[in-house]
Structure 1
Amino acid sequence: MAEIKVDPVPETQISTQKPNKTQRVASLDIFRGLTVAVMILVDDGGGEWPVIGHAPWHGCNLADFVMPFFLFIVGVAIPLALKRIPSRVKAVKKVVFRTLKLLFWGLLLQGGFSHAPDELTYGVDMKMIRFCGILQRIAFAYLVVALAEIFLKDAQSNDTSAGHFSVFRLYCWHWLLGACILVMYLALLYGTYVPDWQFTVRDKDSADYGRVFTVACNVRGKLDPPCNAVGYIDRKVLGTDHMYHKPAWRRYKACTENSPYEGPFKNDAPSWCHAPFEPEGILSSTSAILSTIVGVHFGHVLVHLKGHSERLKQWIGMGFAFLVLGFVLHFTAIPLNKQLYTFSYVCVTSGAAALVFSAIYILVDIWRFGYMFLPLKWIGMNAMLVYVMAAEGIFAGFVNGWYYEDPHTTLVYWIKKHIFIGVWHSRRVGILLYVIFAEILFWAGIAGILHRFGIYWKL
């Protein structure tokens, strides 16, 4: 279970001893806070503003940057955390224990147990529990990359000073690991034969609940929604009952007239529009490790290169290189696709993460404009609390549990209707402002108060 720790000064690094206090990397906290804030924005505002929500299939909208940004941030933090644990055994215990905590919270929050914030029920039928999710994917990537960092430490130099290119040489192992993962992913993605398959509609809100559909495939190497290897492997290993039943492809133009908005399916919609699909599945999570590996390199640069200019030259150069490579792949061979976590998507989102992190680093750690980003910094220092309470809607679910006569006469609904939607006479604008002020800035204030008292919820 996650721990509530009270420290006089919070630390980025993990330590089993009592070393001298080290200053946090402020830009990393702000980047983490920005990512959590964007996650809340796209989750709660994406329904009214699909341009910021997940792309229905190919493409990359604002929401599609959230997961790789989280993985990048985890990667940056790994070298900072593990460098202060001299014992390999203690380091492994830390990594394994943290992974288990991430898995626990992932299953609890996204496995189906909590129905917050709108449904005033809880509990999950174990026949229908969702095994995968955001925290599970982060746990998997963190475990693989952190263990690699630990067990290959002896092959690395202990010298904390290094040149521009020697960082690549010192840590060539993690690029080799990334290359092996990429080859395996591409081989499975393009080499797996996908046969015809069937599924039963489990969405109780659907008029087709309980109906059995057949999807015709008999192909290999396709990246379309119904017949890709990513979905096939998840169906075989997880089973359709344990996958996400409301995937983004429900807004695909082949499924609904209202695309990219949600809406009733077309009368002639393909059968696969009703099917489940796991956006944080097995094969796509394997590819997602690459985002963490890129972040680890940035963490190594932070540890070994001491000058701001040396760090930024490497970060910005890599950022633009990834962006160019990603867009070239997208327009020639491999489309951007978050659901499949394609290599072009890895490159574009890693390049974007590199440039955003570099920009924050310049503003905060070099130009000392950190005070402008205090709300994001507070969120980043208490990211787990804000994620659980706001992004997962646990606090809103608790508030909705207190209603007058009807479950829709709650404080949350009243604030949305009368303070935001009613004042602006627009549901779209009202919802957007509600998310910004009543969720993101509200929880930034709560996190700021907790920071004032040195209270942090850490995993």
Structure 2
Amino acid sequence: MSNNTTGRLISLDALRGFVMFWIMSGEHVIHALAKAAPIPVFIWMSSQLHHAEWNGITFYDMIFPVFLFVAGVSMPFSLEKKIHLAGVKSAEDLPKEEKRKIYLSMLRRTAVLLILGFVVNGLLRFEGLDHTRLASVLGRIGLAWFFAGIIYLNFDFKKQLIWFFGILIGYYAATKWIPVPDFGAGVLTKEGSLEGYIDRLLLPGRLHSTVYDPEGIFSTLPAVSTALLGVFVGTFLKVKCSFSIKIRLLLMALTAVVLIIAGLIWDSSFPINKHLWTSSFVCFVGGFSILFFVFFYVIIDLFGFHKWAFPLVLIGSNSILIYIASEGLVDFKHSADYVFGGLIQFTPLIWQPFFAALSVTVVQLLLLYFLYKRKWFLKI
């Protein structure tokens, strides 16, 4: 067994690759499979690869927060060398000069993610600000990760917990009690929510859904708690203590169950809602994020069974690049049709959409393998 709690965790790349797979092409494979072979399990899987219309949750709603959670888990490991070289015990004890360097690095990363988010949303089409969506998935990752990092660098664990719960409770209170003009307080609809009102009031450009944006200004606040939850897991896994790795993983799993139950209880007054990134959503998905991580960590890093996950590692090690490429910057469908289209036409007609979708995944993995072998990674 490997008991690695330092350095790069293969399980993190694999988990990152697992959630990114569904975005880059996996969803299309499953949708096509459900049409070709409409058995209950495939139909259910296909139904889980759509966002919930408003309240409620599907697996697809979990992808984004799990990715952000993983970014949080990585933070204590990425700063470990700096902490060791500075001769201090924790990130909050780092010298001011060292922290200043880290802040600048974090600002650069966040700025790059914001700009890449603009590009994915069509900034380079030059259609004018009114037609350009400025809020983005990459932008939220950058901002939530940045503010979680600021908290991690300046507060001990107890105060980080206060920030975590304070953000969730504060967001709940504001959303429920601050009145929105023409709607009043606590109206959790697309038009009547405080989040939607703030987006319409303050967010320049085009909103994703006209009256609100799922990656808008105010709902980015609880996303900081999602990233912080990952920071807590990374810290607990890395820090030296009397608990064995097995006990730590068990405690993580128990914490995950508590969070899921808390999310379900909170759902009665503050519905689980990915669009608003509600506090109940943070708890519920946060619990599943921990369970996903524990599963991947146990199988890959603890037991050493990692060969099966190599395709996921290919995706996870270049996740931002494949996300940007899959969001329209690269026509993988055209390339896959050029390479495999001739063969696919000899398969049964009902199965051709499935093999066409699968061929896109193959082309994407070939590209990622080429980049991986040459150690070409998009570092942000």
1:234/1:278 contact within 8 Å kept: yes
C-alpha deviation, 1:373, in angstroms: 0.6
Letter in 1 for 2:261: V
Task: Give the AA of the match of 1:186.
Answer: Y
Alignment of 1:182-201 (within 5 A): 182-196=168-182
CA distance in 1, matches of 2:355, 2:185: 46
Q: What's the counterpart of residue 425 of structure 1? A: 349
Q: 2:22 matched to which residue of 1?
A: 38
Matched, 1:242 2:177: no
1:434, distance to aligned residue in structure 2 (A): 3.6
**Does 2:376 correspond to 1:455?**
yes
Give structure 2 stretches of 5+ with no counterpart. 1-5, 33-45, 87-97
Q: Paired residue for 1:81?
A: 78
**2:326 is aligned with 1:377:** no
Partner of residue 123, structure 2: 113
Higher mean alpha-carbon deviation, 40-49 vs 50-59, is at 40-49
1:133 aligns with 2:128: no
Deviation at 1:281, TM superposition (A): 0.7
**1:425 Cα deviation from its structure 2 partner:** 3.2
* 1:291 and 2:226 aligned: yes
Distance verdict in 2 for CA 1:130–1:419, change over 3 Å: farther
What is the SS of the residue equivalent to 1:180? helix
Distance 1:279 1:415, change over 3 A: farther
State the distance in 2 between where 1:319 and 1:90 align. 34
Structure 2 match to 1:404? none
Matched letter for residue 91 of structure 1: I
Question: Which among 92, 108, 111 is matched to residue 97 of structure 1?
Answer: 108
What TM-score, normalized by structure 1, do the two folds share? 0.69
Structure 1 counterpart of 2:55: 58
1:236 is displaced (CA, Å) by 0.8
CA 1:433–1:288 in structure 2 vs 1: closer, same or farther (change >3 Å)?
A: farther
Query: Alpha-carbon deviations, 1:116-162, whole Å to 9, x = none?
Result: xxxxxx3332222211110110111111011122233xxx5xxxxxx
Q: TM-score, normalised by structure 2?
A: 0.83
State the match for 1:145 in structure 2. 148
| Farther-moved stretch of structure 1 (185-194 vs 375-384) | 185-194
Match for residue 300 of structure 1? Answer: 235
Aligned residues: percent identity?
25
**Amino acid aligned to 1:374:** F
Deviations 1:213-254 (A, max 9, x none): xxxxx3320112321111111111115x5211xx4xxxxxxx
Which residue identity lines up with residue 440 of structure 1 in the other structure? T
| Cα distance in 1 between the residues matched to 2:341 and 2:12 | 36
CA distance in 1, matches of 2:192, 2:134: 22
Matches of 2:354 and 2:366, distance apart in 1: 19
When you count helix as a share of all residues, which structure comes out higher? 2
Residues 8-407 of structure 1 mapped to structure 2, 5 A cutoff = 23-41=7-25, 44=28, 49-85=46-82, 86=86, 87-110=98-121, 112-113=122-123, 122-152=125-155, 156=156, 171-196=157-182, 218-238=183-203, 241-244=205-208, 247=209, 275-305=210-240, 307-330=244-267, 332-390=268-326, 392-396=327-331
* Higher normalized strand content (fraction of residues): 1
Quote the Cα distance in structure 2 between the aligned partners of 1:305 and 1:444. 38
Structure 1 position 291, deviation (Å): 0.8
SS at match of 2:81: coil
Tell me, in whole angstroms, the C-alpha distance in 2 between the residues paired with 1:233 and 1:42: 34
